[in-house]
């Protein structure tokens, strides 16, 4: 593994709230929250009063009487998030977007073009502020996990570069909640055992941590606390699955609870499958109980599915079987549905009525009728929004208070390849090219002619990546 600090983690600060303040300058400097009944996101001014995402709106107003609620501009979130990713792509083709507002970059091959990671991070922050108008924090380190911690330390609107020679010293005093995968419940369990810093977690007895958190989760957190993270930055390709989940306070798993929640999840998953002309053969459900215990159940079908009702019914059967296998679990805190083994599904082949009418098969008479209803609703929603039409059991439920547009921003898009239209390249004239979607300057007919780019001595007339040679430059550890 390359020990040089060549990995950046770029994270937009209080993204949704910052966008609202950008769109409405009168909100700048004021405590604001996106949402209504539930706080979806809060500005730093609101966080100073203890307001946080997921908090009930009533509690948020009690903590901050001057809090201003805004409904949210979800199309703007996506547009501005995509624009920031385009800026990141101008410095390296190795951009791994992990959410709408954050990404990892490997800039090891960009030093000769733009300087060391600290200089590249500073350029990114300047361009995002000037061209988009949003604050962004960047961390630079030798591993992905450490770069993410560095960006959290840098917030708000800062830059932290960790020198590889002082990584342990940097991590030692930091609170354990900064480790990726440590939430409030895990933090409380570790604190009860006297583990409050990352250094203490890295030195803890493995059997103690495994006993507190489980074998897999405990071992993973200890690896991260010790900065053992060999994962490279990988621009993601086409998704292999599509899923959605819904978390809620502990609730008894009654039919009145499971039906609407699973129906809503099935509607979201199936709608995204149909949007991209895909269907899947394996349906997986996950149920989380209290104490962070969870269980999954999957079924692989003979034929792919993309219908909302079919997916809901299959999920309900899987969840019912899963709960029957865990009779001692009285409460659930999360339900999730995912569909994998995806395949192209552009048209439906109608079946002859010889094997009966199975509504789960999209080619059967009832299955085709259901799919026609789904596609009609898709068309209406595409024109008038998701709230315009829906299945009554879901539309009338009070368990879908979070807007679907907000949920979709954080969900994996099965069709999207990471954007590389603005990656840095060199052309056969030795200069920087325009984005990949534009023609290489070498194709222009005007002089001067291209210099040879291949040993054969003729112009390749194509852009090619710049060789990844680079040199390490010393810069202070954990410096802003």
Q: Enumerate the active-site residues.
A: 102
Any idea what the Cα angle at residue 250 is, between residues 244 and 254, rounded to 5°?
Answer: 80
φ, ψ of residue 305 in degrees (nearest 5): -125, 145
Going by C-alpha positions, the residue among 166, 148, 169, 118 that lies closest to residue 224 is: 148
Tracing tokens 């993410």 back to the chain, one arrives at: 148
CA 26 from chain centre, in angstroms, equals 30
d(CA 352, CA 426): 57
d(CA 408, CA 411): 5
Give all strands of the β-sheet with 32-35 in edge-to-edge order.
Answer: 39-42, 32-35, 68-70
Long-range CB contacts (< 8 A, 24+ apart) of 22-25? Answer: 22/80, 22/133, 22/134, 23/73, 23/76, 24/70
The H or E element containing residue 258 is helix 255-275
d(CA 411, CA 394): 19
φ, ψ of residue 111 in degrees (nearest 5): -60, -40
Q: Burial code of 85-119, b = ≥16 C-beta within 10 A, e = fewer?
A: bbbbbbbbbbbbbeebbbbbbbbbbbbeebebbbb
> Could you count the other beta carbons within 10 Å of the beta carbon of residue 38?
17
d(CA 224, CA 210): 14
> Could you count the other beta carbons within 10 Å of the beta carbon of residue 269?
28
Q: For helices 308-324 and 255-275, what crossing angle results, to 10°?
A: 140
Q: Which region holds residue 2: left if phi is over 0, alpha if psi is between -120 and 50, else beta?
A: beta
* Number of continuous H segments (helices) and E segments (strands) in the chain: 17, 12
Residue 93 tokens read as 């083709």
Structural contact between residues 325 and 305, judged by C-beta atoms closer than 8 angstroms: no
| Helix, coil or strand: residue 346 | coil
């Amino acid at each position: 593994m390359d020990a040089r600090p060549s990995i950046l983690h770029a994270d937009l600060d209080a993204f949704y709230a910052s966008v609202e303040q950008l769109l409405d300058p009168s909100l700048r400097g004021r405590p604001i929250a996106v949402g209504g009944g539930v706080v979806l996101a809060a500005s730093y001014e609101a966080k100073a009063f203890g307001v946080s995402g997921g908090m009930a709106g009533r509690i948020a107003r009690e903590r901050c009487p001057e809090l201003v609620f805004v409904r949210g501009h979800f199309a703007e979130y996506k547009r501005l998030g995509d624009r920031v990713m385009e800026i990141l792509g101008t410095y390296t083709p190795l951009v791994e977007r992990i959410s709408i507002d954050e990404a990892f970059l490997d800039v090891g091959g960009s030093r000769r073009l733009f300087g060391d990671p600290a200089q590249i991070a500073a350029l990114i922050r300047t361009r995002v502020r000037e061209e988009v108008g949003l604050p962004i924090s960047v961390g630079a380190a030798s591993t992905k996990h450490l770069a993410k911690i560095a960006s959290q330390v840098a917030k708000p609107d800062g830059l932290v570069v960790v020198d590889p020679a002082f990584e342990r010293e940097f991590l030692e005093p930091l609170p354990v909640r900064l480790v990726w995968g440590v939430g409030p419940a895990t933090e409380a369990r570790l604190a009860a055992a006297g583990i409050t810093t990352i250094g203490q977690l890295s030195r803890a007895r493995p059997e103690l941590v495994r006993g507190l958190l489980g074998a897999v989760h405990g071992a993973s957190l200890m690896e991260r606390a010790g900065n053992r993270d060999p994962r490279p930055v990988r621009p993601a390709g086409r998704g292999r699955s599509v899923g959605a989940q819904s978390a809620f306070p502990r609730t008894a798993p009654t039919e009145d609870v499971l039906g609407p929640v699973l129906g809503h999840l099935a509607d979201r998953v199936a709608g995204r499958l149909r949007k991209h002309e895909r269907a899947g053969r394996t349906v997986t459900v996950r149920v989380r109980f209290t104490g962070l215990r969870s269980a999954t159940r999957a079924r692989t079908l003979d034929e792919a599915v993309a219908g909302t009702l079919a997916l809901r019914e299959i999920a309900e059967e899987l969840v019912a079987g899963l709960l029957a296998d865990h009779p001692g679990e009285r409460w659930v805190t999360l339900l999730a549905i995912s569909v994998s083994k995806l395949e192209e599904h552009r048209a439906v082949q109608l079946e002859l009525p010889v094997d009966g009418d199975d509504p789960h098969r999209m080619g059967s008479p009832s299955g085709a009728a259901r799919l026609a209803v789904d596609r009609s609703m898709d068309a209406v929603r595409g024109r008038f929004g998701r709230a315009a039409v829906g299945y009554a059991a879901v539309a009338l439920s009070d368990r879908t208070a979070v807007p679907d547009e907000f949920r979709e921003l954080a969900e994996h898009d099965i069709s999207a390849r990471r954007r590389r239209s603005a990656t840095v390249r060199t052309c056969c004239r030795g200069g920087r090219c325009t984005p990949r979607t534009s023609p290489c300057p070498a194709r222009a007919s005007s002089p001067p002619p291209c210099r040879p780019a291949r040993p054969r001595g003729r112009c390749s007339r194509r852009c090619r990546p710049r060789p990844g040679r680079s040199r390490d430059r010393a810069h202070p550890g954990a410096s802003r």
